Amino acid sequence: GAVVSQHPSWVICKSGTSVKIECRSLDFQATTMFWYRQFPKQSLMLMATSNEGSKATYEQGVEKDKFLINHASLTLSTLTVTSAHPEDSSFYICSARDGGGRETQYFGPGTRLLVL
């Protein structure tokens, strides 16, 4: 149980384009999902917390107009990187927390974004 999927796993795009990443909880309902970014050899950095049906809460320094988060259902959250630039190249990982009272976050496999 507690499986989280992410799609796509790899994205290569040109500078200026927008990229959408999907995060799905496959066998549980996730009232809360989290989006992280991780640069090589660095620790996880929380970007935003997403609650189903409400606006995401962004961490300090994360531009909400650049990283659009939508959590329209209990099993799906999306992150859209708008007008991507090379400095946005990173490993983006989502996690989902079971809404049934368990507090464990389960991670998706991550999405590698390379902006040329």
Beta carbon of residue 64, minimum distance to other proteins (angstroms, whole number):
18
Indicate the residue among 87 and 103 with the shorter CB distance to other proteins.
103
Q: Angle at the Cα of 92 (from 31 to 73), degrees rounded to 5?
A: 25
* Least distance between other proteins and beta carbon 97 (Å): 8
Residue closer to other proteins by CB (options 16, 112) is 112
For residue 112, give every residue at least 6 positions away whose Cβ sits within 8 Å of its Cβ, in sequence order, or none.
9, 10, 11, 91, 92
CA distances from 18 to 24, 78, 116 (A): 20, 13, 12
By CB under 8 A, name the binding residues for other proteins: 2, 34, 42-44, 46, 49, 93, 97, 103-110
Minimum distance between the CB of residue 107 and other proteins, rounded to whole angstroms?
4
